[in-house]
Amino acid sequence: MNPAGMIYLAEQNIDDFLPDKYDACENSVRSSEGTLFAMVEDRRGNRALFVSGRAENKFEGGESFEEGTVFPLTLENARKLSEFFSWLKPKIAGSDSAFGCGDRIGLATPGHIRAVEKGDVVPVLAQQSIREMERTGRNPRSVLNTAVWGVFREGFEEGFVADADHLKSRESVEKTASAGYTMFTCDPSEEVENEADRMSSDKLESKFSRIDDSEELVDRYIGKEFTATLDKFDYKYESSFSWKDLMGAAVKYYDAVLFADRMYNWVDEKVNGNFDFEVSVDETENPTSPLEHIFVANELLRRGVNLTSLAPRFVGDIQKAIDYIGDLEKFEEAFKAHCAIAETLGPYKLSLHSGSDKFSIYPIISKYAKDKIHVKTAGTSYLEALRVIAKGNPDLFRRICRIALERFPEDRATYHMTTDLSRIPDVDSLDDDELPELLDQDDSRQVLHVTYGSVLSCEENGEPLFKDELKNVLRKNEERYFSRLKDHIGHHLDLLAGRS
Ligand code: ZN
């Protein structure tokens, strides 16, 4: 063993300190406590952690060389490494604006980091719902693992959040908490009574009277004025609950509130220290009214749920992969009210899910909430990966498109979308250089966006049909992939910061 960590200086050529078959990922090179650390890559593109010096014996599963030891990129080794470099440990965003960059394939983190380097927002680099993990054959540990090693590879020291998104059970809270997630997004949608919007007054009344707390609810809400303000904009939202408003909000959301409260306690029991907690009701049938927002947030806060963010279902049509559909003035009016409520009752942040590609509402969000918003994106980075595939391997891209179209009717079931398949050009009639157009056309974007699970998990004779091939093309073209992500996610962040 040659304790290179003791003698390596930044201006020296790091590769002189490595075993012959490896090159260093330059931004990763660090030294600490007499030990040299670097992410290294062999000729075939396999990456590993190189450690040379006193700390070598702390890591697991290594292969020794004269120059030091090379270790696999496991979550355990990432944890050990974070004892030397605390920026490798996921942190919380707290009240700072945050931007979620979900990565369905597991190769995007360096591109995401390049997009967020301007520093306006705290990046959320691991962000997957349990549904997404199931569809892509991943799990909380593997999702976090690829993010952490991406952070090390880039030498990104600003910190990042790991969001366990759309949690619906205690089991998923426990799995994500023990993996090391720092943000927990509670999805109580199974407890939301969407029917409440359509119930007759009699039915509402009888359902309402069955709520244990109904008399206290009446005391808390009936005959009270609710005022929320945005001082900076000289804006005031004032309203009060009619009987119907209260019964509607309570019948619709009361069980969801109880569920979110329980989940908050599950997280609290399991996580040592601080965590971010979001409650998302963004997947309900109808938009969340300002009064419903007041009801949900107030009931959560008075139970001691320390809300970091809340995701209402915003007014208008927020579909996957495409711009906002709806009246921008109405959106602005509602957004302002939600902002004022979040500011006055909390403060906590508003959270916008499916936040990618909604370029027309970004100026409004920027105006009222650029310093107190949480945005989540995921599929849009997958689409950027497909753009790289379309150019790097047109034949693979065509095969992906065909499977996507075949699986779309089934895969769209859990999403609300107005996709018109007849507008999508026939992939076989397009020339190779026309293929990327499918990623600029709304209908084909949506088809490709929601079929990620089928594409990434489909098999033939027990072998993955596309996954490995797709990853290989991305690895071969990774600089193009990262620069696409930098531009595309960066465009969102520029709009959010009010830069363009
Ligand atoms: Zn969501």
Give mean pLDDT, residues 195-221: 96
Could you tell me which residues are beta bridge partners of residue 317? 325
Percent of the chain with pLDDT over 70: 98
Q: Are 205 and 217 in contact (CB under 8 A)?
A: no
Distance 353 CA to ligand 1 centre (A): 5
Given a cut of 50, is residue 1 above it in pLDDT?
no
Task: Classify the phi-psi angles of 318: left when phi > 0, otherwise alpha if psi is within -120 to 50, otherwise beta.
Answer: beta
pLDDT of 408 reads 97
Ion ligand 1, residue ranges at CB < 5 A: 282, 353
Distance 465 CA to ligand 1 centre (A): 29
pLDDT of 415 reads 87
Given a cut of 90, is residue 8 above it in pLDDT?
no
Given a cut of 60, is residue 475 above it in pLDDT?
yes
Give the DSSP letter of residue 377: E
- Active-site positions? 165, 278
Distance 283 CA to ligand 1 centre (A): 6
Given a cut of 90, is residue 294 above it in pLDDT?
yes
Give mean pLDDT, residues 327-351: 98
* DSSP string covering 160-227: -EEEEEEE-SHHHHHHHHHHT--EEEE--GGG--GGGGG--HHHHHHHHHTSTTHHHHHHHHBT--EE
Query: How do residues 278-293 score in pLDDT, each as one tens digit?
Result: 999 998 889 999 999 9
- 191: number of Cβ within 10 Å: 17
Give the DSSP letter of residue 37: E
pLDDT of 464 reads 87
pLDDT of 212 reads 94
Distance 279 CA to ligand 1 centre (A): 10
- Biggest CA pair distance of the chain: 81
Give mean pLDDT, residues 399-413: 96
Q: Are 348 and 303 in contact (CB under 8 A)?
A: no
Distance 436 CA to ligand 1 centre (A): 27
pLDDT band for 466, please (50, 70, 90 cuts).
Answer: very high
Rounded CA-CA distance 277/300 in Å is 11
Confidence (pTM): 0.96
Nearest to 169 by CA among 181, 185, 183: 185
Dihedral sign (CA 310, 311, 312, 315): positive
Given a cut of 80, is residue 9 above it in pLDDT?
no
Give mean pLDDT, residues 485-490: 98
Query: How do residues 381-392 score in pLDDT, each as one tens digit?
Result: 999 999 999 999
Given a cut of 50, is residue 2 above it in pLDDT?
no
Return the CA Rg of the chain.
24
Given a cut of 80, is residue 10 above it in pLDDT?
no
Distance 441 CA to ligand 1 centre (A): 23
Given a cut of 90, is residue 354 above it in pLDDT?
yes
Give mean pLDDT, residues 187-191: 97
Rounded CA-CA distance 400/452 in Å is 10
Tokens of 122: 């705290």
pLDDT of 416 reads 86
Give the DSSP letter of residue 325: B
